[in-house]
Chains A and B, each alone.
Chain A
Amino acid sequence: MAGEKNKVQFLSGNEACVWAAIHARARFFAGYPISPATEIAEMCAHELPRYGGFYIQMEDEIGSIAAVIGASLGGLRAFTATSGPGLALMQENIGFAAMAEVPCVIINVQRFGPSTGIATKPAQSDVMTTRWGTPGDHSLIVLTPSGGQECYDLTFAAFNLAELFRTPVIVLTDAVIAHLREKVTVKSDEELFLFNEDKQFLRITGLVHDSFGYSSDVPEVAGELIARLAQKIEGYQTLLPGSRFYGPESPEVLIISFGISARAARQAVFLAEQEDLAVSLLELQTLWPFPEEEIRKIGVKAKTVLVAELNRGQVQREVMACGISPEKVRGINKIDTTVITPREILNEILTVIKNN
């Protein structure tokens, strides 16, 4: 069967996410159909009951994330899946999960937006909305797979991280890798840790609260709580999936990318190598908290940094703020529903090297 462990499978990104969730012992899914994430809901409806789990189709995405949070508080590993318009509706309760420290996983399959946009076309323009879509100072984790295997590995990691940090974790994929079928090796559950199984005595509120779960408007209580919540993950970057690095340590051109664009960048680096060019790729797997340290370390050694992404420079602006001179950071961007090709990246590399 398709979900069998320790075996090479041929899976779409969406399917890989579901199997990772099931193998990570997620047993609750609440959702609302939306392209290009719908297959995740369909598969959960079919598979979860076979593992003693539950699928519930809520009346909207606000209700979906709320039900996920409720189930998680009740001791089930819980998740949902959506795309831009649905993510927009979930934002208030994502903030609630951050404030009340409820573990949950949200798979956001990016599509072309804003608004309904084009439902079946890819984009990578939810970078900022995943991080700052919910109001207030807070911290959360966003992971970005670049293919089927990464969909599996990072979704699996997402459940562990959600419980380790007691936080919402967003797995940020896109319309292309969601439907791309690739070889995926599924794991055994050795690396799984579970904190959340016990039936806890619940005292939960999204209001500023003291450690007993009673609301408080004392400035010291508010200040301490928000300071802790806003920094609780930032100090532990080493526990999060690290960026992948391909190519020479001191490149002339460093490409930074993630998701589907990183796949094109990998090929571009390969092509550049054939032409004896010193080009490297840093493929981000954790997008938030932003891996500043990793980027700075190798970014300072590069003459030029190119950030390839399907938006107008959302990650590029973060890279420029990492402590490398902003003048040497440039973007390769596309916002016309097509993906960036290896050739386009290579051409950019060649232009840069010619001008350097």
Chain B
Amino acid sequence: MVIPDYKKYLAVERLPHIWCAGCGNGVILKALLLVLAELNFRPGEILLATGIGCISRAGDYVSFQRFQGTHGRTLAFVTGLKVARPELKVICLIGDGDCAAIGMGHLIHAARRNLDVAVLVANNLNYGMTGGQFSPLTPNKSLTSTSRAGKNEASLDICRLAEVAGANYVARTSVFYHGELRKYIREAISKTGFSLVEILTSCPTYYGRYNKIGGPGEMLTWFRDKTVPLKKYLQMDKQEQKDFFWRGKLVGRDAPNSYTYGKKNEEPDG
């Protein structure tokens, strides 16, 4: 395979990055940059929009356009930006806390409007930046710094939520499956309308350590063993499903935008 020149999208002079050794965030960033290189975008055509959190620092390491707003509000900011600049390819890269806790409202409404953006959710199963607290996407019973006896709340399937909210494209994979990851990112970016890819990713520093999964390598194999193809998952009984994450493509459709922004009306006289 010829590796496309992704380094032109990387702000090499800004390295080293702040992420811990063995963190999955670098894997996600590289997958994204490879896809951008494959699709051969010019720096002025694309914008990486992030929130606040470990993954959201990614904007500091890209050489093209970046926007970093406030915690949870990325989709609301880009709702306005896309009205002003509908031609801009906007890729949102946000954490599970950012998208499923504080920013949940905006996520649902962006999907409902079928806003033309690709949302990549880096789900490291906890709040990395603030030191490993549980998020809405942390599995039930998981150990975190705010659930030392195991998380006593239910988790949430953000993909199924995006589906019912109106997304045109929804898929889930993990950093273990790099080829699949790139494929889904490519499909999401190429899709018109709202697309979401949930990427299960490793936080060995907190989630991995608290749950005694092991180091970076063990975390990757843990994701391999913990994920099953969607079809197989659907054949499992409810009890068995609790121990696994499904992976695969959940939604692929071409519903039009539910809004008409971007169509300019005539100036009235006077």
Contacts and interface: CB of A to CB of B under 8 A. Distances in A.
A76 B70 contact: no
Contacts of A193: none
A78 B85 CA distance: 13
Interface in A40-95: 49-52, 54, 56, 58-60, 62-64, 66-76, 78, 92-93
Interface string B95-139: 000000000011001000000000000000000000000000000
Nearest to A1: B270
A28 B77 CA distance: 13
A56 B76 CA distance: 11
Interface stretch (B153-161, B187-195, B241-249, B259-267): B259-267
Contacts of B270: 1, 3-5
Contact of B80 (A3, A30, A92): A30
Contacts of A72: 80, 84
A49 B44 contact: no
Contact of B83 (A56, A203, A206): A56
A215 B43 CA distance: 19
A201 B79 CA distance: 18
Given A52-B264, A59-B106, A204 B80 contact: no
Nearest to A59: B109
A62 B73 contact: yes
Given A59-B109, A207-B68, A50 B76 contact: no
A70 B78 contact: yes
B47 A70 contact: no
Contact of A28 (B57, B80, B88): B80
B60 A74 contact: no
A70 B65 contact: no
B268 interface: yes
A199 interface: yes
Interface in A86-116: 92-93, 96
Contacts of A28: 80, 83-84
A45 to B, nearest CB: 12
B255 interface: no
Contact of B105 (A3, A63, A70, A213): A63
Given A3-B270, A63-B105, A203 B65 contact: yes
Highest count of chain A CB atoms <10 Å: which of B14, B47, B83? B83
A67 B259 CA distance: 15
A250 to B, nearest CB: 48
Chain B interface, DSSP helix/strand/loop, else mixed:
mixed
Interface residues of B, number: 37
A280 to B, nearest CB: 41
B83 A93 contact: no
Given A92-B70, A93-B70, A56 B80 contact: yes
Contacts of A30: 79-80
Contacts of A60: 105
A215 B268 contact: no
A62 to B, nearest CB: 6
B20 interface: no
Given A28-B84, A70-B84, A50 B77 contact: no
A52 B260 CA distance: 12
B186 interface: no
A63 B102 CA distance: 12
A68 B77 CA distance: 7
A239 interface: no
Interface string A193-215: 00000010111111100000111
Contacts of A70: 67, 76-84
Interface string B44-75: 10010000000001011000011111100100
B80 A78 contact: yes
B83 A66 contact: no
Contacts of A203: 65-66
Nearest to B13: A214
Nearest to B90: A70
A71 B82 CA distance: 7
B164 interface: no
B52 to A, nearest CB: 8
Contacts of B73: 62-63, 66, 93
A68 B265 CA distance: 20
B208 to A, nearest CB: 26
B11 interface: yes
B80 to A, nearest CB: 3
Interface in A274-304: none
Contacts of B105: 59-60, 63
A5 B259 CA distance: 31
Given A60-B105, A63-B106, A74 B83 contact: yes
Interface string B33-47: 000000000011001
Nearest to B269: A1
Given A63-B79, A204-B68, 7 more contacts: A54-B83, A60-B105, A62-B73, A73-B67, A78-B84, A207-B68, A215-B57
Q: Which 4 A-B pairs have the closest CB atoms?
A: A74-B84, A70-B80, A67-B80, A70-B81
Interface of A: 1, 3-5, 28, 30, 49-52, 54, 56, 58-60, 62-64, 66-76, 78, 92-93, 96, 199, 201-207, 213-215
10 contacts: A30-B80, A59-B105, A70-B82, A74-B82, A92-B70, A96-B69, A205-B59, A206-B69, A206-B70, A214-B60
Interface of B: 11, 14, 43-44, 47, 57, 59-60, 65-70, 73, 76-85, 88, 105-106, 109, 259, 261, 264-268, 270
